[in-house]
Amino acid sequence: PPKPPVNIYLDPNNIYSHINRLQMMQVPVEPSGFKGDSGIAIGKAGYLYEIPYMQEYLGVSGSVYTQVTDEGMQEMVDKMEYIQKELEKRGITMLYVITSSKASAYADYIPEHYKNSVTTVPNYVRPIDRLRPMLAASEINYLDSAEYYKEIGLLVTFPKTGIHWNALASFESTAKLIQMYGDLTGKQTV
């Protein structure tokens, strides 16, 4: 019989396997007592979230993220493509990086108290999910960090009590960008 597919996040041959296990063992328990303030929410298992990241992920009514249009994003892609071509004429290589979002990376830990306090837009599709096909159809040199982390099996990309990438995620994104730069330019990069 065929072997079941390997879960890359738990594959013992993956360098991040042990760290991923520790993440997966955390139980998403809703906080009690102080739950944050107008800028930061305390999520399940003590994860901290900046409010705008949760608004973007959930599609909170009235947030700027629900007002992003496909036309506006396509215009941005067209402008970036133009800038990249103009830079190429000057011998400059442009690389565009899409950073990952803590709210989407750790959606299971978004607190229910926050979800219950907001109204979301029905049938909301995140701007990034609408942007990805536009970028794929363009000539822009880009790295989608969240997708790259899935590809290499890196699950733990944010500290529990911080809002920015952890060292593992920043290292992997930087190393990939250096590799991409070398591949695009033919220059040896270190």
Q: Tell me the two tokens of residue 49.
A: 């979230």
E strand or H helix that includes residue 98? strand 96-98
- Model confidence at 4, pLDDT cuts 50, 70, 90, reads low
Residue-level pLDDT at 84: 98
What pLDDT digit, counting tens, does each position of 82-94 carry?
999 999 999 999 9
Please state, in angstroms and rounded to a whole number, the distance separating the CA atoms of residues 7 and 67. Answer: 37
* Non-local CB neighbours of 164 within 8 Å, separated by 6+ positions: 158
Instruction: Please state the pTM of the whole predicted model.
Output: 0.87
What pLDDT digit, counting tens, does each position of 140-172 carry?
999 999 999 999 999 999 999 887 889 999 999
Please state, in angstroms and rounded to a whole number, the distance separating the CA atoms of residues 173 and 121. Answer: 32
SS3 assignment, position 82? helix
Q: Tell me the two tokens of residue 178.
A: 């250096």
Please state, in angstroms and rounded to a whole number, the distance separating the CA atoms of residues 28 and 44. Answer: 5
